[in-house]
Amino acid sequence: MSDSTATGAKVRVLIGKPGLDGHDRGAKYVAHILRDAGFEVIYTGIRRTPEQIVDAAIQEDVKMIGLSLLSGAHNTLFKRVLDLLKEKGAEDIIVFGGGTIPPDDVPGLEAMGIKAVFGPGTPAKEIVDTLNSCLA
């Protein structure tokens, strides 16, 4: 559950788009379904640097960062986000990704520390369930 009624606390998630592609339909879709699942979603907009995303995530004290990427630069940019989190003492923030990511690249991303990767057409429920189990 994303709702802890004892404190009124909500799970805060930051959705960011690193890199240069400007297609944010997927990112907005995920923001929307997470909102509907009771999360508080901080959306950063398109064309952000990993530095901007990580600094924003730390100020916002989020539990998770979702990275959306369609440009093909996921191996480099996702890695950079993980490295920056570590550098800033925030490696406990869960990072997941989505977008047009070749299935062959997924094991590598997971080995790097990305907790889940959601490709095109992933059902909303699957995303929410997976994230909730990451939090458990």
Partner 1 sequence: MTNDLIQLVDIALKDGPISVRAAGRLMSLMEDQPWRLPELFHAWAAVRQGREDELSEQIPMPRLFLGITGAPGSGKSTMTDALVGEYREKHPDKKVGVIAVDPSSPFTGGSVLGDRVRMMRHATDSNVFIRSLSARGHLGGLTLGVKGVARVMGLIGCDVVIIETVGVGQSEVEVTQVADLVTVVLAPGQGDSIQMLKAGLMEIADLYVINKMDREGSAQLHTQLLSSLNLSFDKKEVTDVQLVSATDKTNIDQLVDLLDKRTSEQSSDWPALREKRMYADVSESVLDQARMLLAGELRTNPDLTKQIIEGTVTVHDVAQVLLEKACDSTQEV
Instruction: Provide the minimum distance between the beta carbon of 58 and partner 1 in the complex, in angstroms, as a whole number.
Output: 5
104 belongs to the binding site for partner 1 (CB under 8 A): no
108 binds partner 1 (CB under 8 A): no
b/e code 3-30 from CB counts within 10 Å (16+ = b): eeeeeeeebbbbbbbbbebeebebbeeb
Lookup: tokens for 103: 């299935």
Place of tokens 């989505």: 98
Q: Give the nearer residue to partner 1 in terms of CB position, either 61 or 110.
A: 61
Q: Considering only residues 23, 56, 113, 115, which one is a binding residue for partner 1 as defined by CB under 8 A?
A: 56
8 counts as binding partner 1 under rule CB under 8 A: yes
Q: Residue 99 to residues 1, 59, 60, 63, 120: CA-CA distances in angstroms? A: 25, 25, 24, 21, 6
**126 binding partner 1? (CB under 8 A):** no
What's the CA gap between 54 and 83, in Å, rounded? Answer: 10
How many alpha carbons lie under 13 Å from residue 11 in its C-beta half-sphere? 25
Assess 44 for contact with partner 1 (CB under 8 A). Answer: yes
- Contact status: 10 vs partner 1 (CB under 8 A): yes
Q: Does 41 bind partner 1 (CB under 8 A)?
A: yes
Residue ranges that bind partner 1, judged by CB under 8 A? 2-3, 7-10, 12, 31-32, 34-45, 48-49, 51-53, 55-56, 58-61, 87-90, 92
